[in-house]
Chain A
Amino acid sequence: MDKRIMNRIALAVLWLCAATTVAVLGAVILYVFVNGIGQLSLEFIFTWPQGVNAEGGIWPTIVSTVYVTGLAMLIVTPIGVLAAVYLAEYAVQGRLVRTIRFAADSLASVPSIIMGLFGMALFVETMHIPFSMLAAALALSFLMLPIVMRATEEAIRAVPKYIRWGSYGLGASKWQTVSRIVLPAAMPRILTGLILATGRAVGETAVVIFTMGQAINLPVSPLDSGRPMTVHLYILAMEGINLPAAYGTALLLMIMILFFNLTARWLLRRNRRMQG
């Protein structure tokens, strides 16, 4: 076949691939949007579910989602960032580092249901932390750890070497260099990684079901339980008692995740523009 005709056909197929991907995304988002937009109102966001058919709003689930994600972020940020600092600045390439990286990759690919079972086995049954925000946040932070570690390490490596040399030349210790020069310079990208990890945590279901239970509750202390939006969506969809509310919950969830993703991209673009 003439190579130019082959070329045209192949390029058309590639266009089709990309178009299909975009179309699928559009379909999912449109579907949730069209069915859920009617539900979104101040009342939906701020009132409790009521009645036999879970009429009303989803406020406690929103609070539960935000609470557990925030708690998980609080736990994972210091550990993940400092771990990446070690890998990027202090570590000597060797067996330990290779093991750490393999462990991080493995953690990243652990199926979330196993993380949930692990969370239940360790935190709830062995450490006797009840089904709560805390147990779920601890399990979620394990899930987020590899994402934060990888993003932070890349961010630190992206900081030009001559900045550090300048700092050492002035007599700064390693820690002073890292904390006052390198980390602030890498901060936008680190934040991006954190935000992406948070977006992932918001969408988690299996992990949370096994560590937080499902009772609808407004959590105040980390030991309170609650029901996050993902679990609420699952229950509403499977019980079929209030499909409009399910759509509304799905839409709100996707808006939150979209917000996180777009913020991360915006931060990254701003950082690239500033670095020239």
Chain B
Amino acid sequence: MADRSMMTGAPAGKKSTLKLMSKAIYVKEAALRNLFLLCATVAVLGVGLIFVFVGVRGWPVVQDPGLGAFLFGKVWSSSTGQFGILPLVTGTLVITLGALLLGAPLAVGTAVFLSEVASPKVRAVVRPAVELLAGVPSVVYGFFGLIILRPIVADLTGGLGFGPLTAAIILAVMIVPTIATLTEDALGSVVPGIREASYAMGATPWQTIYKVLLPAARIGIIDAIILGMGRAVGETMAVVMVAGNAPQFFKGLGEPISTLTSQIVIDMSYASGTHRTALFGMAVILFLISMGLVALVRVISNRKEDR
């Protein structure tokens, strides 16, 4: 931090004739510091702008059709002017929960494997695999789900193969890298020596993992799962391609269903008037959900630090 005493290198308060820094440099330093502060606040600015711009466009929804009818309305049908998002919210919930049920155990298992079981050679294969999974674009996953997974699910459920099952499987695969990398970090940050203590008492690796490490890292793992959930809630393109996009309540694993994200993408291109504000209203809700999840993670992590 640039302050006057740095200019002379002498203890504050003592006058010295030595000048290590001219006033010009001091001003420049201060200016630069403020420039960087400005850059840093761009992030805050961004979040604020998103709120404002998306929120302003979605705000009219409070009056028409009214907050209650919007949030709890059971019918979404733009041709008849009904904009109740409850079926879409349940769709998002069902698919997200399904993705977590399938993906979280797989991810945590993979992370535990990487952290505790794998030899360096095996780790060198599996860890890049997890990172590369994160890099595959969502359209490619959607494409894969559409062409490969859909017919399989169609045979399994007797329907057309579009629905919560297909969507949950694809989403599960997509959130595995998120959850796995964060879980691995969490496992790596447990109290050092805890593993050795466990082994010294005669525990097997599994007992150590199950009774010592997982509980010790549980806050980090919960954080990871919550962030994975956030990713699943916000995923769009893959869901549009495999969920079936029917704005109805859950009818079955193989029956089409729609989510907040997929409905926005499908309708936005041509929506106008109330329909459009309803879509922006949905976007606000999505934004609130994802920010809420981030806040939840912070609260949980802070509580851990307080202990």
Contacts and interface: CB of A to CB of B under 8 A. Distances in A.
A238 B241 CA distance: 8
A185 B198 CA distance: 40
B20 interface: yes
Given A173-B21, A205-B138, A205-B139, A146 B43 contact: yes
B236 A103 contact: no
A102 B294 contact: yes
- Do most interface residues of chain B lie in helix, strand or loop, or is the interface mixed? helix
B137 A258 contact: no
B70 interface: no
B32 A79 contact: no
Contact of A86 (B40, B57, B261): B40
A67 interface: no
Interface residues of B, number: 91
Kindly name the residue among B37, B135, B295 whose own CB sees the greatest number of chain A CB atoms within 10 A: B135
Contact of A118 (B28, B37, B54, B231): B54
A109 B290 contact: yes
A171 interface: yes
Contact of A237 (B1, B42, B128, B143): B143
B25 to A, nearest CB: 6
B261 A111 contact: yes
Contacts of B136: 25, 28-29, 203, 254, 257
B36 A114 contact: no
Contact of A87 (B40, B139, B287): B40
A21 B241 contact: no
Interface of A: 3-4, 6-7, 10-11, 13-18, 20-22, 24-26, 28-29, 31-32, 78-80, 82-87, 90-92, 99-100, 102-107, 109-115, 117-118, 121-122, 126, 142, 145-146, 149, 171, 173-175, 199-200, 202-206, 209-210, 230, 233-234, 237-238, 246, 250, 253-254, 257-258, 260-261, 265
